[in-house]
Amino acid sequence: MERKNVSGVETKEAGYGAVKYKDEGEVSSWKFWKKRRYVVAILAFLGFFTSYILRVNLSVAIVAMTEDKKDENGEIYHKREFDWDSKTKGLVLSSFFYGYLSTQLFGGWLAARIGGKRVFGLGIAATALFTIITPPLVRQSVYILVVLRIIEGICEGVTYPCIHAIWANWAPPLERSKLATLAFSGSFLGTVFAMPVSGMMAEHLGWPSVFYVFGAIGLLWFILWWIVVKDHPEDDPHISQFELEYIKSSIGNTESKMKITHPWKAMFSSPPVWAIVAAHFSENWGFYTMLTQLPTYMKDVLESELEATGFMSALPYLAMTLVVQFSGQLADYLRTKKILTTTQVRKLFNCGAFIFQTIFMTCAAFVSTKAGAVICITIAVGLGGFAWSGFGVNHLDIAPKHASVLMGIGNTIATLPGVVSPIITGYIVQNKSATEWRTVFIIAGAVYLLGAVIYGIFASGEKQSWADDTSNKQGEEVYDNPGLEIDNL
């Protein structure tokens, strides 16, 4: 059924929303800054960028905090400030994730009630504030640092779930993928930025500067976010009438809500659901192991200077930033052209990535040269971008109406590696030897392989029979997230 909206834009009904065919009234596509939905996406990108520089900074700063600085002759010219053993450092690095895993489901629930803008912005702003006060408090006790990092994790735990509340109101169906991808890629680029910059700042300005500067960046971003971004397009005073009508007609009427009853028993007994959870857990094990431990490994085994350590530690995440963009486009191309089925695409991208990650992570354990180790680790982490086009969007394939809940469940369990991996590494790496670090890499490779096997056997790209088992109750105001529905192309 074709119709004209109030702006005279020709649209066609497609499922739950109206899909635009012609946008003569809109500005040229390259003038993205004049489209308010892209302004929101760019500021969300900067928000995720900020959240990750606040998360990653300690991984590099802890090296400067706990290691002596030596000159070319091996003479100590700057004594370390904290004498923490590997177990203590493992506890410090893992503490963030204790808080992070506790607010995944809560973040989405809260955003539905007070708005995604508020939850996303305040979560990052609070993290930035606690980051700024870290240096004076950590000098009092290492346990204060642990508590601070737990609180920061609680604040940042809301970010991923709550951003979907914003896309539910701002992202037209045919633009959800690119808007969401643009925003989430800020996470990986934030890691790329934080690793080398933290190293340079710690080397030349002292480790406290890492916390002061990054915390200040977070607060500046929050001010910009709070002023510019609105929860709903109609609340934005700078949006054009054309864009407003396009977004509203594309998304459809979201004012009338129906309660979705989630089939908990069916979800928790569904093999495809646990295949996604297992894959998410496996990917995060390797990702978080490298995220928290790579700078220390570079220092212990490769004997890199702190500044060089930061640059080399950033390479894997630069590779992942590029791969995740490419893999998403390729996955959609293969599905759109019907070259492969959705199930085949998900399994190929996910299992293929995990198998090669197993190979290169194991190779990194046995390579003795600095260049070889960096290359293997970069490839291993970077290939994770393909896995995200597998399990990362698979929730939408098997149960679009329940995708937000499945993401919350999976992201909670997949955060556990951030807690467990640094602690295990701390117990394994007692003497800072290459043999001890070899064990860490082999464990990561084994987890990748296990994830590939489970996902390869049980994953599916088809909508599950229980996915429609909902009882809709009229008249109840609840949150239904249309921003998570897959585009029906």
Q: What residues does 76 pair with on adjacent strands?
A: 70
As a whole number of angstroms, the distance between CA 105 and CA 16 comes to 25
**Residue 225: predicted pLDDT:** 96
468 or 286, greater pLDDT: 286
Band of residue 32 on the pLDDT scale cut at 50, 70, 90: low
Band of residue 202 on the pLDDT scale cut at 50, 70, 90: confident
- 208-228 vs 116-132: helix axis angle to the nearest 10? 160
93 or 353, greater pLDDT: 353
310 or 3, greater pLDDT: 310
| Paired sense of beta strands 2-4 and 17-20, if any | unpaired
- What integer is the mean pLDDT of 344-351? 93
pLDDT, tens digit (0-9, with 9 covering 90-100), for 261-275? 778 899 999 999 999
- What integer is the mean pLDDT of 177-187? 75
Q: Which of 280, 286, 287, 354 is nearest to 56 (CA)?
A: 287
Q: CB atoms < 10 A from the CB of 23, how many?
A: 14
306 or 119, greater pLDDT: 119
**Residue 432: predicted pLDDT:** 79
pLDDT of 326 > 60? The answer is yes
Band of residue 10 on the pLDDT scale cut at 50, 70, 90: very low
Indicate the SS3 state at residue 112: helix
pLDDT, tens digit (0-9, with 9 covering 90-100), for 65-81? 887 776 666 666 667 77
Tell me the C-alpha to C-alpha distance, in Å, between residue 30 and each of 26, 38, 43, 68, 69: 11, 11, 17, 50, 49
Q: Which of 99, 104, 121, 144 is nearest to 218 (CA)?
A: 121
7 or 34, greater pLDDT: 34
pTM score > 0.85 for this model? no
- The string of DSSP codes covering 117-150 is HHHHHHHHHHHHHHHHTHHHHHTT-HHHHHHHHH
pLDDT, tens digit (0-9, with 9 covering 90-100), for 388-435? 888 887 887 887 777 767 777 888 898 888 888 888 888 898 887 888
The label of the residue with tokens 């028993």 reads 265
Q: Which of 2-16, 23-37, 347-361 has the highest mean pLDDT?
A: 347-361
Band of residue 5 on the pLDDT scale cut at 50, 70, 90: very low
- What integer is the mean pLDDT of 282-306? 79
Q: What residues does 333 pair with on adjacent strands?
A: none
**Residue 474: predicted pLDDT:** 40
Band of residue 308 on the pLDDT scale cut at 50, 70, 90: low
**Residue 226: predicted pLDDT:** 95
Band of residue 213 on the pLDDT scale cut at 50, 70, 90: very high
Query: If you average pLDDT over every residue of the chain, what do you get?
Result: 80
| Paired sense of beta strands 69-70 and 76-78, if any | antiparallel
Which two three-digit tokens encode residue 410?
A: 């999976």
- What integer is the mean pLDDT of 343-366? 93
71 CB-contact burial (10 Å; exposed 0-12 / middle 13-18 / buried 19+)? exposed
- What integer is the mean pLDDT of 310-332? 81
Band of residue 304 on the pLDDT scale cut at 50, 70, 90: low
Q: Which of 60, 5, 1 is nearest to 248 (CA)?
A: 5
Least confident of 1-10, 125-134, 257-266, 295-304: 1-10
**Residue 158: predicted pLDDT:** 87
Q: CB atoms < 10 A from the CB of 212, how many?
A: 17
Amino acid 299 reads K
pLDDT of 12 > 50? The answer is no
pLDDT, tens digit (0-9, with 9 covering 90-100), for 113-145? 787 899 999 999 999 999 999 999 999 999 999
**Residue 399: predicted pLDDT:** 79
- The string of DSSP codes covering 41-87 is HHHHHHHHHHHHHHHHHHHHHHHHHHS-EE-TTS-EEE--S----HH
As a whole number of angstroms, the distance between CA 167 and CA 147 comes to 33
62 CB-contact burial (10 Å; exposed 0-12 / middle 13-18 / buried 19+)? buried
The label of the residue with tokens 């995220």 reads 291
Which two three-digit tokens encode residue 358?
A: 């197993």
Q: Residue 82 in contact with residue 207, Cβ under 8 Å?
A: no
Task: Tell me the chain's radius of gyration from C-alpha atoms.
Answer: 23
What is the SS3 string spanning 156-181? HCCHHHHHHHHHHHHCCHHHHHHHHH
477 CB-contact burial (10 Å; exposed 0-12 / middle 13-18 / buried 19+)? exposed
Angle ∠(141,142,146) on CA atoms, nearest 5: 120
Q: What are phi and psi of 199, to 5 degrees?
A: -65, -45
**Residue 174: predicted pLDDT:** 57
The label of the residue with tokens 């082999």 reads 442
Angle ∠(347,358,306) on CA atoms, nearest 5: 125
Q: Residue 154 in contact with residue 97, Cβ under 8 Å?
A: no
- 370-382 vs 306-336: helix axis angle to the nearest 10? 30
Indicate the SS3 state at residue 432: coil
Angle ∠(379,383,386) on CA atoms, nearest 5: 165
- What integer is the mean pLDDT of 108-116? 74
Which two three-digit tokens encode residue 253?
A: 């009427």
Amino acid 472 reads N
pLDDT of 14 > 70? The answer is no
